[in-house]
Amino acid sequence: MTIRVLLADDQTMVRTGFSLILGAEDDIEVVGEAKDGLQALEMVRVLAPDVVLMDIRMPRMDGLQALRELHHPGSAGSPKVVVVTTFDDDEYVHEALNNGACGFLLKDSGPTLLTEAVRAAYSGEALVSPAITIRLLKGLRSPRTAAPAGSGLSSRETDVARLVAEGLTNAEIAAALFVSLGTVKTHLGNIQTKLSARNRVEIALWAWRSGLAER
């Protein structure tokens, strides 16, 4: 299937560059370009994209406010959002991920990460720029050293959550635990249900905050 993408950025050159990169991929189609958050919301309603690449600082409505509008309680059928910004600011990262973003990239991350982030968001996973991933998640740890009571995770699910938080891909988790890729995906689905996590990033956030992950 073709992944339908909406670009939201106030800089024409950025939108043009992203459009050229993504348009070269056989499985990705750029269906629209918005120059601010308000226009992005309007275009989401009309175009129903699968994924939105959202800048943060834009006129009229910034990307974080647009993200909150898309993922407010009770909203249904919202597209996946990947925040793409120039600003490597932990506060922005925290707010974006806590409000449902499926990824957070810096604009200089390169074409490969950009396309990978779109595909990951579409498939229900997430990608955060490697330059900020571990720093971000370490900063969210609490003093606890074990999973919170009532999480309901099995010991194997806990292992999977910990490895997700340490940045391993599904294939790497399967190799580390000597299980199949399908088993890993099953565990991830169970973890999301038990933690009420919307995506892979929220699983990682939970694991670091609970003290499960160490790096």
Give the model's pLDDT for residue 28: 95
Task: Report the pLDDT averaged over residues 4-8.
Answer: 97
- In this prediction the pTM is 0.67
Query: For residue 143, how many other CB atoms are within 10 A of its CB?
Result: 5
Say if residues 162 and 209 touch (Cβ distance below 8 Å).
no
Give the model's pLDDT for residue 144: 44
Task: Report the pLDDT averaged over residues 124-146.
Answer: 58
Whether 57 shows a pLDDT value over 70: the answer reads yes
For residues 139 and 156, the model is more confident at 156
Q: CB within 8 A of 40, min separation 6: which ones?
A: 6, 8, 34, 52, 54, 61, 63, 66
Q: State the average pLDDT for the chain.
A: 83
Whether 118 shows a pLDDT value over 70: the answer reads yes
Read off the pLDDT band of 160 (50, 70, 90).
very high
Read off the pLDDT band of 211 (50, 70, 90).
confident
Give the model's pLDDT for residue 202: 77
Read off the pLDDT band of 145 (50, 70, 90).
very low
Give the model's pLDDT for residue 52: 95
Whether 44 shows a pLDDT value over 80: the answer reads yes
E runs forming strands in 87-165:
103-106, 127-128
Q: Which residue has the tokens 């073709």?
A: 2
For residues 144 and 51, the model is more confident at 51
Cα(92)–Cα(68) distance, integer angstroms: 13
Note the pLDDT tens digit of each residue in 171-207. Answer: 788 999 999 988 998 998 899 899 888 677 778 778 8
Whether 148 shows a pLDDT value over 70: the answer reads no
